[in-house]
Amino acid sequence: MAKNPYTHPNSDEAHDTAHKTTETSKSDRLEAFRSDAEGHDLRTNQGTRIADNHNSLKAGERGPTLMEDFIFREKLNHFDNERIPERIVHARGAAAHGYFQPYAEAAEYSKAGLFQDPSKKTPVFVRFSTVQGPRGSNDTVRDVRGFATKFYTDEGNWDLVGNDMPVFFIQDAIKFPDFVHAVKPEPHNEIPQGQSAHDTFWDFVSLMPESTHMVLWTMSDRAFPRHYRNMEGFGVHTFRLVDKQGKARFVKFHWKPLAGTCSLIWDEAQKLWGRDPDFNRRNMWDDIESGDFLEYEFGIQVVEEEDEHKFDFDLLDPTKIIPEEQVPVTPIGKMVLNRNPDNFFAETEQVAFNPANVVPGIDFTNDPLLQGRLFSYLDTQMLRLGGPNFHEIPINQPVCPFHNNQRDSMHRQTIDKGQASYEPNSIDNGYPSETPPAPENGGFETVNERVDANKIRARSASFGDHYSQATLFWNSQTEVEKEHIIAAYTFELSKVERPWIRERVIQQILPNIDLELARRVGENHGIETPAEKPAPAEELGTSSQQASEALSLMARLPHDIKYRKVALLVADGVDGDQVEALKAKLEAEGAKGIVIAPSMAPVKATNGQQVVPDAMLNGLPSVTLDSVIVVGGAESAKALSQSGLGLYYVQEAYKHLKAIAAIGEGKDLLSAASVPTQEDGIFLGATVDDVFTPFTEAMGQHRVWSRDPKANSMPA
C-alpha cells in the first residue's frame, strides 16, 4: 500500500504517531498542500488556460464589459471573497455624518432630486480610509486615501466612491486583483504592513507602465494628508449626468476642501506612527466634537458628448485626469460633516459603499475599471456583511421607502406582507410596481448608447499613453515638492531587495517621466540612467499642456490659520497674562492655543494665577500640532531649557519647518536647543503683539519651506 502523503490531524493514524512527531516535521506534513507556480501556465480554477489576463471581454475596444466573461467573473469572484470579515482594501477607516446642499447651478446638469432645491439638505455619511493596510495599521502611512460618500436621497442612495487622488494604478478591472495582491504585505511573511516599500509592489508597477502616473501621485506629499479637512476627493472615473431634457454629459466629480490643501512631511508622518497612530481619525473626531466641522465644495468638470474625443487622452481611461485649465471645475454644492458616529462597528465598519448605487440623473460610462467595480463591490459586501440583506443594516438603509420582491435569505429584517413576491401580479393589485422614466421623480433609465462591435479582448489604442500625464504632474510641482518626490522614490526603492527591480524602475520607468528625476534617484542608488526616454513614442504620448497649477498642493493653501492648533509651551514661572492673550488672539483667528507643560499639574504663573495644561510635552508632541510658541517668563524658560523633552519639542518643530515664536525669555529655550533664531519662520519679541502677526502669516503658509535644507541637519 502506498504511503499516505498526508495524515489528517484528527485521524487514528495521526493520533497513534503523534508522540513520534517533532515540531519541525509539521512543515513536511503540509508539503502536499503547497504549490509552486514556477514553470506553470496561467489557468482558471477549472484548469482552462488563459490567453489574455490583461483585458476583460468587451463589446468593442471602448465598449462595455460583457458579463459572459467567465475568466473575469471567476477572478473577481475569488478576489472579492478572500478576506473575512475585514475589507480587502480600505480596511482602516474613519467616518462622519453630515449633509449636502446644492447650489442653484446643480439642477442645470442633472435631474437627480438632490440637485434641484438649493434649500434642501441631503444627509450624507462619509468614510475616509487608507487602502493597503489592515484595520490595525496607522493613519499616516504613505498611501492613497479613500473618500467615499453615501448620499441618502429621496430617490434612493447614491454612493460616490472615490479617492484623494484623481487617477488609479490600472486601466482594466481584470488587473485589480493582481494590483492588490502586489501592494498587500508579501504572502510569505505578511510584511510590510500598510506600506508600499517592498519587492512585489515595485515589481508589479515597473512591469505595468499604465501605473506610472498613479505611483507618482503616491510618491508626492498627497500621500500624507495633514487632516481629512485638508484633503481633496475625486470620483476617479468619468461618469454621466442626465438633465431633465434627457441630455447626457460626461463629468468628473471633485471634492474641494474649503480649508485648503496641505500635508504632513515624510519624517513627521513616520514619527506619528509611534506617537499617534490614530492621528487623522482623532483630529476629525475631536474637531467635530468641538464644533469645528469639515467643509467641502462639490464640483464637476463637464464635457459635452460631442467633445468626447477632442482631448489628447481618452476620457474613459482611469489613469488620466482632465486638466482644470482645459475644463474648469464648476461648483454645484457644499458638504458639511458635523456629527460623529454613535458606534464605530454599527456605522463605520458596517457601511457598504457601491459605485453601482446611483439615482435617476446619474449614469455610468464604459470605463473598464468602473465597469468591473460595478460588479465587484456588491459581490464583496454580500460576503463581508453576511448575505444579500446587508442593505437592511441601519447605516445602509435608504431614507426613502423601498419595496421589491427580494425576500428571505440570511439576516432578513423586513416582514413582508402580501402573497405575491413576483411581478407582474394581480393578487396584490400589481404592487410593488414600476415607475416609468420622467424628467422628475421618474424611474432610473440608462443612457441610450449605441453599441455595435465585435467581442474582443483588447484595449483601445487611445489607452496607450502611459507617461505624458505623469510628466504633466511632475512639471506642475514646486521645487520643494519635487525634492520630496525624489526622496520618496529613493527611500521606497531602498527597501526593494532585488536589484533588477530597482534598476527597472530607475532605468526604464522614471526616465519616461523626467530624465532629471531618474538621474537624481539613480545617483542615490548608484544606478546609471539613460540620456533619452526609453519608452516607445505611443507610450510616451503627447500633452498639449505642460503644467497645471491645480496639481500642486501648495497652490491651494488657505493662507489663514483657521482650524490650526498651536502649542503654547509653559512651566512654573510663566507669564500668565501672555498665555491668556495668546489664546484669545488665536481663537479670534479661528485657531486654538493648546497649553503644553512638563506635567499635567497646574502651572504657577507670575500673575499669581494657575495655568491648567491641556497636555504634557511627551503626551502631545510637536508632530501632532501646527506650530509652537514659547511663552515668556524667566523661570518657565529655564525649566523648559533644563528639560530634554522641552529641548526636543522645539528642535523637532524646527526640523519639520513649523513657525516658531518665542516671547521675552522664551528665546532662551531656542538658544539652549541650538535652534537658529535668525532663520526664516523664527519670531522673537518682547510682547505678544511683537510676534503675533508675522507668526500667523508664516503659519498660514503651512511650512517655512526656505528652511528645508538646513532643517534636515537637526538631529531631532
**pLDDT one-digit tens code per residue, 216-241:** 999 999 999 999 999 999 999 999 99
The model's pLDDT over 180-189, given as tens digits with 9 standing for 90+, comes to: 999 999 988 9
CB neighbour list of residue 408: distance below 8 Å, 6 or more residues apart: none
* Residues shown for the chain: 716
* Residue owning grid cell 455595435: 452
- Any idea which architecture 58-197+228-396 has in CATH? Beta Barrel (2.40)
The model's pLDDT over 500-525, given as tens digits with 9 standing for 90+, comes to: 999 999 999 999 999 999 999 999 99
Categorize the per-residue pLDDT at 193 as very low, low, confident or very high, splitting at 50, 70 and 90: confident
The DSSP symbol for 551 reads G
Do residues 625 and 567 touch, judged by C-beta distance below 8 A? yes
Q: What residues does CATH 1.20.1370.20 cover in the chain?
A: 465-555
Categorize the per-residue pLDDT at 402 as very low, low, confident or very high, splitting at 50, 70 and 90: confident
Q: What residues does CATH 2.40.180.10 cover in the chain?
A: 58-197+228-396
Instruction: Report the chain's C-alpha Rg in angstroms.
Output: 28
Q: Using CA atoms, how far apart are residues 273 and 493, in angstroms rounded to an integer?
A: 20
The pLDDT, as a whole number, for residue 80 is 86
**pTM score, two decimals?**
0.90
User: Peptide bond preceding 432: is omega within 30 degrees of 0, i.e. cis?
Assistant: yes
Element spanning 471, H or E: helix 468-475
Residue of 166, 211, 145 whose CA lies nearest to 301: 166
Over residues 688-692, the mean pLDDT reads 97
Over residues 308-322, the mean pLDDT reads 97
CB burial string 241-279: b at 16+ within 10 A, e below: bbbeeeebbbbbbbbbbebbbbbbbbbbbbbbeebbbeb
Task: Examine the pLDDT at 540 and tell me if it is beyond 90.
Answer: yes
Categorize the per-residue pLDDT at 20 as very low, low, confident or very high, splitting at 50, 70 and 90: very low
Q: Using CA atoms, how far apart are residues 657 and 554, in angstroms rounded to an integer?
A: 15
Computed over every residue of the chain, the mean pLDDT equals: 91
Burial of 547 per CB tally in 10 Å (0-12, 13-18, 19+): middle
Do residues 566 and 701 touch, judged by C-beta distance below 8 A? no
Q: Using CA atoms, how far apart are residues 627 and 656, in angstroms rounded to an integer?
A: 10
Catalytic annotation, residues: 90, 163
CATH topology classification for 465-555: Hemocyanin, N-terminal domain (1.20.1370)
The model's pLDDT over 89-121, given as tens digits with 9 standing for 90+, comes to: 999 999 999 999 999 999 999 999 999 999 999
The model's pLDDT over 565-624, given as tens digits with 9 standing for 90+, comes to: 999 999 999 999 999 999 999 999 999 999 999 999 999 999 999 999 999 999 999 999
Do residues 669 and 630 touch, judged by C-beta distance below 8 A? yes
Q: What residues does CATH 3.40.50.880 cover in the chain?
A: 559-711
φ/ψ (deg, to 5) at 263: -140, 170
- Multiple choice CATH, 559-711, 3.40.50.880, 3.40.50.300, 3.30.70.3270, 3.40.50.2300: 3.40.50.880
Element spanning 251, H or E: strand 248-257
